[in-house]
Amino acid sequence: MPHLRRTVRRRSSPSLLCPGQPPIQVLPTVSVDHSSPDRFLDGSAPANPEAAARYLAVVAAQLYVQDGVVATMDAAARRAVEAVEGSAATGVLSTSRRFRRDVAVSTTQEAERLDALQFRLGDGPSLRAVQERTAVFVRDTRGECRWPLWASVASEAGFQSMLVVPMVIEPYRAALGIYWDCHGRPGHEELAMVSLIARHAAIAVANAHQVSTLREAVEARHRIGLAQGILMERFGLDAEQSFSILRRYSRDNNIKVNDIARAVVTTGYLPGWSAAEPPPDTR
């Protein structure tokens, strides 16, 4: 089993999406990047549909039992490299405007470097697939003109062609990329299998994101409750007064309430507050 590598990058740019959870919509069959001379991923089924169905059932089960977004992406990368004969490496790249975090997992160090390079450049085959919700095919990295710097590094790493399939279920955006060490195009059956794996993976990654978000919300609420209890016990406050302190401290110091609560739970005091000081103003 190939060793999986992970890259995580947090972005400082503000979120472009409004608060709240929009309804999830599964996108229709992906289209093809028309800058490529070939049209593929046309929805054709593998040559042995029964075997493919059994395999995809196993893939789906493995994806849904993973603990967290990164683990789900890891599983998708492993399944893809198994399903596509002759592939040299695979990677799953996830970029989130809502959570301002870019994540990539890959099966080789070289593929990890290429995904990280796309993040630095702000463009590349995987990011293009995510942005335009279309499959992208790089026939030969030695003559690729859309992303010359990325293509040069890919060629030096020994990769000569690449297929990227988008995995987009708003607001969660990811892409499955497969590298080959020879130029040309993969077989039709392999393309169909990659498309099917990507669709299962997109749903699983979106589900993992939602579970992670809900878990973080529950943990934050519990942490704030603990911090309120500490302030109530220490200063003889009621629940409303203790939360007012956290909220006012957050506003005055430009610190998230959850981060203040974490400090109170860890140290027993508000950040920068000493035990000798009088009770904080609850107004």
> What confidence tens digit (pLDDT) does each residue in 138-147 have?
999 999 999 9
Burial class (CB in 10 A: 0-12, 13-18, 19+), 146: middle
The mean-pLDDT minimum among 34-48, 75-89, 171-185 falls in 34-48
Sorting pLDDT into bands at 50, 70 and 90, what band is 114?
very high
Higher pLDDT, 100 or 196: 196
What pLDDT is stored for residue 36 in this prediction? 36
Q: pTM above 0.85?
A: no
What are the C-alpha distances in Å from 59 to residues 88, 211, 229?
20, 20, 45
d(Cα 158, Cα 179) in Å, to the nearest integer?
10
**Alpha-carbon distance 141 to 158, whole Å?**
10
State the Cα torsion 215-220-226-229 to the nearest 10°.
-130
* Position 122 pLDDT exceeds 80: yes
Q: Go through the domains of the chain in sequence order and give each one's CATH number.
A: 5-13+24-213 (3.30.450.40), 214-267 (1.10.10.10)
DSSP state of 142: G
d(CA 112, CA 238): 52
Mean residue pLDDT of the chain comes to 77
Alpha-carbon distances of 175 from 24, 31, 131, 168, 194, rounded to whole Å? 17, 14, 10, 8, 11
